[in-house]
Amino acid sequence: MRRINPCALQRRILIGVGGGISAYKVCEVVSTLAKLGAEVRIVVTDSAQQFITPLTLATLSRHRAYSDRDFWEPTHGRPLHIQLGEWAELFVIAPLTANTLAKLAAGMADNLLTNTVLASTCPLLLVPAMNREMWKQRAVQRNWQQILSDRRVHSITPVAGVLACDLPEVADPQEMSAFGAGRMAEPEQIVAHINSLLHTNGKRDLATKQVLVSAGGTREHFDPVRFIGNPATGKMGIAIARAAVHRGAQVTLVHGPMDVEALSSLPEVKLVGVTDAGQMYEALSEAFPTADITIMAAAVADVRPATFHPEKLPKRSLPEQLKLEPVTDIISELAQRKRANQQLIGFAAQTGDILHPAEEKLRRKNLDAIVANPIDKADAGFGSDTNQAILLDSTGRKLDIVGCSKLQLAHYLLDFIQDSPERGWA
């Protein structure tokens, strides 16, 4: 059995900071990457320095931050923008302003940032932020679509939310969604995309694929306030959906009840919310026929109360014994409908011996692959941000993944699926 033991990030990341109030979010991005072991270099535009100082970014990155002042100074070595462009394994611009976007779309180079873009060949991640009316302008959208046509360019589009200029207008938080896009993505989302691009080196190997993912736990209600459930949070399923999107896939996520904020970090994903196993079965059955890859990461109930009481039962009326009945075995039903060109992957959350139960489930349910996942170890399983697993497939391959982030595990799983000698993509 082959083993992967992920280590520190140890990659070279160049970050360009544009002039916008959301530049403050870049501080957390830089700090997080440095703590993960990455080498981070910063290019700060003149306008960005109106919002954040080079000293702040230099302190967080453990390296000086470069500005146009450095660009125009005489040098006896190789030009700074050439050095930086060749050094970077990944180039991120956040926030990307309308002004810098226009320059990139036109191929202009009038400062250190834009010169370095033209001097680099690595993947380029653009993270725009601006007033919603500016973002909606036809010229801005034309420039945006033009730059996205470049295969090296990846993006995190702005999201709906409160903008700095809109704060005085907010009367009711419920109306926030009506404000439209323009808000820059949150640091956690940016760091996740950076990690994905470093893992894939910018390849979009799922660009033609439809990926279906199930996530979270189900709730089998006894009455309106009591249910049989489990501790699943959906973090692993969200990580798989996110990794697939970053690799170019069209993704549908069928999820049980989970944190709304976590779901808001997946603007490119089609979200289908359900509560119980029956609803999850219906939603997955509807989406399954068009899916190329289906990954069943949800923790679905095995049984449900035989009787549902539409009103809350008083404590004195609770039965001493709760009669249960089985729910539909969703993954087995989908396996019976699976076509030759589809891949169906399951999860086996186990305590103790995780390998043999997963091997048995892989055979019995006619799966293409399965993730054997320990839930009785520290920093693995339900609710944690990290995980470990053994990946197995129907050809007998086994891959042991030692502790890593759930996003890393998601990418290792997608690599494993596509490398299958029987079911890999041409």
Residue 393: its H or E element: strand 386-393
Are the CB atoms for 211 and 292 separated by under 8 Å? Answer: yes
Are the CB atoms for 235 and 266 separated by under 8 Å? Answer: no
Q: Strands, E, within 317-385: which ranges?
A: 324-326, 343-350, 369-374
Candidates 116, 121, 43, 122; CA nearest to 82 is 116
- Please indicate whether residue 404 is annotated as part of the active site: no
Per the DSSP assignment, residues forming a β-bridge with 96 are 128
Q: Strands, E, within 135-249: which ranges?
A: 153-155, 159-160, 181-183, 210-215, 220-223, 226-228
Among 7, 27, 122, 165, the one annotated catalytic: 165
- Give residue 309's identity as a one-letter amino acid code: H
**Strands 2-4 and 398-405, how do they pair?**
parallel
Three-class SS of residue 90? strand
Candidates 100, 78, 152, 80; CA nearest to 122 is 152
Distance of alpha carbon 277 from alpha carbon 282, whole angstroms: 9
**How far, CA to CA in Å, does 397 sit from each of 308, 338, 368?**
44, 21, 11
Q: DSSP letter at 309?
A: -
Contacts for 315 with CB less than 8 Å, ≥ 6 apart: none
Are the CB atoms for 178 and 197 separated by under 8 Å? Answer: no
Sheet (strand 369-374) strand order: 2-4, 398-405, 386-393, 369-374, 343-350, 293-296, 210-215, 250-255, 270-273
Catalytic residues: 165
